[in-house]
Amino acid sequence: MGTSSVLAGRDRRAARRHAILCVLCASATFTLGSAVVKALTADIPIMEIVAFRGFIALLALLPLLWRHGGIAALATRRPLGHLLRTLCGFVATATTVYGYATLPLATVTALGFAMPLFLTVLSVPLLGERVGARRGSAVLTGLGGVLLMLRPWQQTGALPINAVGIVLAGVVAWALAMISIRRMGEAGERNVTIVAWYSLGTAALAVVAALPHLVLPSPPQCLALIAAGLLSGFAQLLMTEGYRGEETTLLAPFEYGAILYATILGIMLWGEWPDVWGLLGVALLIGAGLYIWRRETTLGIRR
């Protein structure tokens, strides 16, 4: 193997490690923001929360936009891609906040991990990706961990079916948003442009939807809304940075880290200790992610 091939292989593995770390950090940030949002849903309307998150995230991005040319950073040749990403992301965000208001935090987090299954299925016809047997098995193993945590066979009638269906519809929308990000990344669209258009579009849509039922938040609630927006903006930036340069089927399993983060927050904030089945589910999720990390970034095995 020539020197150039060795260097190319190292660069490829480094790029994969960078993308995976971005997704892991984004998952942690999203989970922390989710806990803040759940605490707010008791008093603040859902669309108002979504609008605040989008608006604050956009404000947080202004320095980055300035460094990339200000308004010029919004220039794009992929308006339809941004429209699709914004609409899908808006649906996913709104349905997730709805889930926080109607379902337990751990349940909403676990339902979100149906996303890799939809993502893997959709990536084949929409992105032309191939999923090897080992990677596919690891993803399915991780989803098996989600099922162990949810244990639907023990919760018949315990969860509101309509609420679960709405959250799952948002999960499909999120998978489509990730595919849209990948397409724009392959076309050379910049990370800051993708995130800025998403934040701007989501805030605008949410403001329109929130106007009929606006509630004046208290000072502590304003601080919490600002924190949720900042966390959302930072997480979006990290997630987009990861997904824009790597295959969706490689990165999706690493979002499973949110299960661990949500479990820790549940224990710390609400005393939600997991049982043996829940711990086994977490172990499967983490094991599947670590297996793919080792195979894709350390061994560099071709599928």
The domains of the chain are located at 18-299
Residue 149: per-residue pLDDT: 67
Give every residue of the chain whose pLDDT is below 70, as ranges.
1-10, 116-117, 127-129, 131, 149-150, 152-159, 245-249, 252, 285, 289-290, 292-303
Residue with tokens 């927006």: 229
* Res 300: pLDDT: 47
Q: Check: pTM over 0.75? Answer yes or no.
A: no
For residue 143, the model assigns a pLDDT of 76
**Rounded distance between C-alpha atoms, residue 191 and residue 189, angstroms:** 7
For residue 297, the 8-state DSSP code is: I
What lies within 8 Å, CB to CB, of 92 at 6+ separation is 170, 171, 173, 174, 177
Q: Taking every pair of C-alpha atoms in the chain, what is the biggest distance, in angstroms?
A: 65
Helix extents (H) in 71-190:
79-102, 105-112, 115-127, 133-150, 161-186
pLDDT digits (tens, 9 = 90+) for 248-263: 667 767 777 787 788 7
Residue 214's region, left for phi above 0, alpha for psi from -120 to 50, else beta, is beta
- In angstroms, rounded to a whole number, what is the distance separating the alpha carbons of residues 238 and 27? 9
Average pLDDT, the chain: 79
CB 94, CB 51: distance < 8 Å: no
